[in-house]
Amino acid sequence: MCGIIGYVGKEDAAPILLEGLRRLEYRGYDSSGIAVMNGSKSIQLRKKSGRLQNLRNLVADQPTKGACGISHTRWATHGEPTDNNAHPHLDQSGNLAIVHNGVIENYQSLRDALEKEGHEFKSQTDSEVLAHLIGKIYDASDETDLHKRLISSLREALKQVSGTYGIAAMHTDSPKFLVGARLGSPLIVGVGHGENFLASDVGAVISHTSNAVYLNDRDIVCLTEDEFRVETVEGGISDYEVSEVEYTAEQADIGDYPHYMLKEIYEQPESIQNVFRGRLLDEEASAILGGLNMTPKQLRDVDRIVLCGCGTASHAAMAGEYIIESLARIPTEVEIASEFRYRNPPLDKNTLVFVISQSGETLDTLSAMREGQRKGHRVLGIVNAVGSTIARESDGGSYLYSGPEIGVAATKSFTSQVTMLALLGLLLGRMRHLSVDYGKNMLEEIRALPAKVERILEQSDRIKEIALKYIDAEGMLFLGRQFNYPTAMEAALKMKEISYIFASGHASAELKHGVIALVTEKLPSVFIMPNDSVYEKNVSSLEEVKARKGPCIAVTTEGNTEMERIADDVIYIPPVTECLSPILSVIPMQLLSYHFAVARGCDVDKPRNLAKSVTVE
């Protein structure tokens, strides 16, 4: 959550910071602010609640000058989204400025102690307390090297706080000098020529450099325009490497699309192909996932699989559970990552744990990974962001290579994750009982997915017509069975996230166990019902809704004209083997929620109260 970018170099900092915030706004958009240090050793602070454009307007009216600065776009945790609560925050002296992601859990006791010493606070945030604490330690220090004084003050302050943080800070005593630190909240160093950057995401700096250092937890970094140094909070040397960012600024731009969400929906033929490119073995009728770092014997010894994720990733895991059990006959279960870390589930030595996260920085998922490792289990990651914390700390795993996903509502990451889990199921299945012929058929089906997705995307205008037909609906039910029960869950989440209406996903057969009480003439029900092994069962459930005058939208397989006589509206998907159907059936659901939300005037890329990467608990 929240976005940080800091800059030190030879250029005017404000335009660079504002551009970086634009690229980070998906991480939080309740308020934003910049602090720039000028040659007269003063900090120029500009903060504004609301969207980033409000800050742009303020800076245009009250320009700042200086080649060193920090900035922040906020997703509110402590304190409402107001001008005063916006970052950056100053210390008591006004000479130190910080921006902070994360949560300082003991901020109230620290604030109480500081107030007794005469400190006056201007916000309700936990972050301002950290600024005052660092400033207090700095002012009391007798260190004559001012760079060292700032670093040691930050280090000492961090020893007194509990919680998570991604921090960038600067002090008027040290012009053109930035310090940063991380624990739980991501922070990277953008390595430039005659300039360096701090940011919470590489997307903020890709217009300026393609080289980045992904900081580890409890790292402290200090930057000048010509160099940087990474240490640990404890004072030791930290190991790091300079990595090349895996995508370009052009790939992260919106292009000619009105919204990032629509762009990313339309990128799915390519993103799905990127998952299986180079990973299909025709000779063995199987898949290869070398990043798992496991021998064939170790994979054959797996008796149980646990899939952990949050939000959309948990729905992808649900689809993966069905796929892996179907193809590999290995007992598989899904754990919501935020619950797994606090439970004590019995896991035997042959249990393999996967954590699934687009960003690779989701705090609940990261904590679940560490909990599994703490108990001696092998934990593998399925992530999109190269160099992310889960990618670096897991025992192995696979990258999705889907490219940047900027829209807050996940789309291409879901289909990429399910595709990856299908490759995993095929790999494990061929090691056990799947025949060569079945494996070859799966390879054909997987390779055909991108073209089939393109056929669904061609129906966008028709799906928009259906969305407009139900634009006054205050709620919607999504129903599916077996492999498409997770699709129903994900479809409901998409509708809730971006249109703010009540939406609920259920297994179709659960209708008669309570859900059918919600059915009215004003509540549309969407049935995800391709021609599969439970198609007739879904028809019966749809008929139950129709008998109670509930409007029905059917998502079914091309050529199934029966639905045109029964359902009010029909959306078609190409035929596909049953276990891969969620990858296709979710596409029209993404388009339906997108067109519905746009027609209702919602900001689909920046839905209220949400942010893209959840790095707080």
Catalytic sites, residue numbers: 2, 612
Euclidean distance between CA atoms 451 and 469, whole angstroms? 29
Euclidean distance between CA atoms 470 and 475, whole angstroms? 10
Phi-psi region of 330 (alpha: psi -120 to 50; beta: other; left: phi over 0): beta
3-state secondary structure at position 356: strand
The tokens for 137 are 């330690």
The rounded radius of gyration (Å) of the Cα atoms in the chain is 26
3-state secondary structure at position 478: strand
CA dihedral over 395, 398, 399, 402, signed as positive or negative: negative
Q: Apex CA 361: angle with CA 356 and CA 363, to 5°?
A: 90
3-state helix, strand, coil in the chain (%, to 5): 40, 20, 35
3-state secondary structure at position 569: strand
Helices 581-599 and 485-499: crossing angle in degrees, nearest 10, is 20
Q: 475-480 and 502-507 as β-strands: parallel, antiparallel, unpaired?
A: parallel
Residues 6+ apart with CB under 8 A from 81: 30, 31, 49, 50, 74
The tokens for 201 are 């995401």
Euclidean distance between CA atoms 374 and 546, whole angstroms? 52
Half-sphere exposure of 240 (CA within 13 A, CB side): 28
Residue 160 · residue 110 · CB < 8 Å:
yes
Euclidean distance between CA atoms 104 and 591, whole angstroms? 39
b/e map of 343-380 (b: 16 or more CB within 10 Å)? eeeeeeeebbbbbbbbbbbbbbbbbbbbbbeeeebbbb
Euclidean distance between CA atoms 274 and 20, whole angstroms? 27
For residue 407, report the phi and psi dihedrals to the nearest 5 degrees: -55, 135
**Widest pairwise Cα distance in the chain:** 83
Per-residue DSSP letter, 292 = G
Cα of first residue to Cα of last residue in the chain, in angstroms, is 10
The amino acid at 69: G
Residue 612 CA to chain centroid, in angstroms?
A: 5
